[in-house]
Amino acid sequence: MNRGRSIASRLCGLMVCVMLWPLAGAAQAATVEERLERLEQKTLSISPGAEQETGNMVFFRGGWANLTNDRSNEVFTDVFGFSGSNDQNGGYYVGAGLDLVLSRNVWDMLPGTWVLGEIGVEFKRFNSNKVTQAVPSTCGAAIPSSGCTVETNKKVQITMLTVDVAPKIMFMEGSRIRPWIIPVGLDFHVISPPSNDTTVLDIGVQFAVGAQVRVWKALHLGVDGRFHLATGQTDTTNNFGTAGVYLGIAF
């Protein structure tokens, strides 16, 4: 009798195992599938053309710069053209900055489109001529006044420093090549030499377009073009455009 019950118990256990076997197999298959999916995502995250893990980036840029109006015939640039005119517009720029991710989908409005905040600093040096240099600022309009030292045939450098804060909209998430635009950004300018009003600070806006390509891991190369529109707080026209390249390192 006991032997019969033992055989029956074994048969019941075997039937339960047979019934549960498909469920165990399905659970194991799901686990394997999840592992493969995680491995695939990890592989994509490090491939050259895949989406970056973060969009944060430090960049270094440089290229060509051009003023819309030169700064000739000013007291500090060429002593009102006393001996030659500092009338060049073109030059170069170098700069650096940070891109910080604000949203990866324009706050749920545009999937695959990022919004970044750019913080940048940029130095520009425009082509400068050898002219009369006023030292100090007490020189007259064309004739040096008493006690004023004037140096002739000396290069007076025309430079500008710009700090900007701007939103950058970057398209084509997951692509190796990603275009972007800056619809409008805020600029802070420092000009040198000072204007005739002996002021150096100006503010304005900028507009930009560009694109970058991921070349290897965190390294990116890009091109950008910008136009800066100043408000003329220095009583000079400080509008200019730039075009150049940049190297970005994502982090």
Over residues 208-224, the pLDDT tens digits come to 999 999 999 999 999 99
**Higher pLDDT among residues 27 and 35, named by residue:** 35
Q: What is the mean pLDDT of residues 230-241?
A: 96
57-250 carries CATH number 2.40.160.20: yes
CA Rg value for the chain: 32
* Residue 150, CA distances (Å) to 42, 131, 146, 211 in order: 67, 10, 11, 48
CB distance 99 to 54 below 8 Å:
no
Integer angstrom CA distances of residue 174 from 104, 109, 189: 11, 18, 36
How high is the pLDDT of residue 11?
A: 46
Residue 228 in this model has a pLDDT that exceeds 60: yes
Q: Answer whether residue 14 shows pLDDT above 80.
A: no
| Whole-angstrom distance, CA of residue 226 vs CA of residue 73 | 27
pLDDT at 64: 98
pLDDT at 43: 46
- Contact status, residue 186 vs residue 164, Cβ threshold 8 Å: yes
Please report the DSSP string for 44-107 in residue order: HHHSTTSPPS---EEEEEEEEEEESS---S-HHHHTTTBTB-----EEEEEEEEEEEEEESSTT
Residue 126 · residue 158 · CB < 8 Å: yes
For the chain, what is the mean pLDDT?
84
The tally of CA atoms less than 13 A away on the side-chain side of residue 207 is 4
For the cut 80, the answer to whether the pLDDT of residue 135 exceeds it is no
CB 126 within 8 A of CB 159: yes
> Sign of dihedral through CA atoms 192, 196, 197, 198?
positive
Q: Where exactly are the structural domains of the chain?
A: 1-46, 57-250
Q: What are 163-185's pLDDT values in tens digits?
A: 999 999 999 999 999 999 999 99
Residue 45 confidence (pLDDT)? 43
Torsion of CA 19, 20, 26, 32, to 10 degrees: -140
HSE-CB of 61 using CA atoms within 13 angstroms: 32
Question: Does the pLDDT value for residue 104 go beyond 70?
Answer: yes
Portion of the chain with pLDDT greater than 90, in percent: 65
